[in-house]
Amino acid sequence: MSRLRARVREIQRRMVRFCGGLSLRDAEYDFAYRHIVGENLRVLDVGGVGSRLPLQLARRGFLVTVLDVRPYPERHPNLTVVQADFLTNSIPDGSFDYVVMISCIEHMGFGGYGDPVCEDADFRAMAQALRILKPDGKLILTFPFCDRYAVQPGFERWYDRARAHRLFEGLQVVDQEYYIPHARLFNRIVKWIPASLQQIVEADVMTKYGYQCNACFVVAPREEVRL
């Protein structure tokens, strides 16, 4: 994605927010931004092309690495760009305090963004993220979420509770938030609002908006019980 296109998207999101709306991407960025806390942190943003979050985190003083199969257009002294496939990356174990995947894992393995086709890519991505995390590190990820698992061929997965449970097997959920479409303008969702898990399960948003809901999670390795 070019720097100009990224800037245009950022302006569009700001206009929506100025008019009282909230884009899904802003809700996801806010969630990640709130949960990355500390000093001298190393942050890996996977699939961050088109996102301003890595640049914002770099400006906060964090050492940020963006890893994507596509080139990242932004530059900053605290920002490192690695153009590679996350599933076969060579990053050393225990390198990062945070791994961030904003609306990324659902697209992995379909080849839609130049990545290799792989049926179980989301589970392999989780294994890579946990390998790269420091022992006390955290993984922040967001993805489409609804009452039943579905695959949009060649594009993305829509997660349900069962698939998310498998994805987080052996991990502890530190925090979670859910968002549901609330207002549409010119066939675009211009406002997302927080919702409970029960509301997500009961809401028939596909019929009303032609869109799925969204989930945001912070997960971490379970602490070992030492005898």
The secondary structure of 88-103 as a DSSP string is: G--PPTT-EEEEEESS
pLDDT at 200: 82
pLDDT at 162: 95
Tens of pLDDT, residue by residue, the chain (227 residues)? 555 565 555 655 565 555 556 888 999 999 999 999 999 999 999 999 888 899 999 999 999 999 999 988 889 999 999 999 999 999 999 999 999 999 999 999 998 888 889 889 999 999 999 999 999 999 999 999 988 898 988 899 999 999 999 999 999 999 999 999 877 776 777 788 999 988 887 777 666 666 789 999 999 998 754 44
For residue 122, with 0-12 CB atoms within 10 Å meaning exposed, 13-18 middle and 19 or more buried, which class applies?
Answer: buried
Rounded to whole angstroms, what are the CA distances from 98 to 45, 83, 108, 150, 206? 8, 19, 19, 28, 33
CB within 8 Å of 13: residues ≥ 6 apart:
23, 25, 26
For residue 54, with 0-12 CB atoms within 10 Å meaning exposed, 13-18 middle and 19 or more buried, which class applies?
Answer: buried
CA 115 to CA 200: how far, in whole Å?
A: 30
Q: Go through the domains of the chain in sequence order and give each one's CATH number.
A: 3-221 (3.40.50.150)
CA 180 to CA 192: how far, in whole Å?
A: 5
Tokens 């409970």 belong to residue: 196
pTM for the full predicted model: 0.88
pLDDT at 226: 45
Rounded to whole angstroms, what are the CA distances from 174 to 107, 141, 181, 217? 24, 12, 24, 8
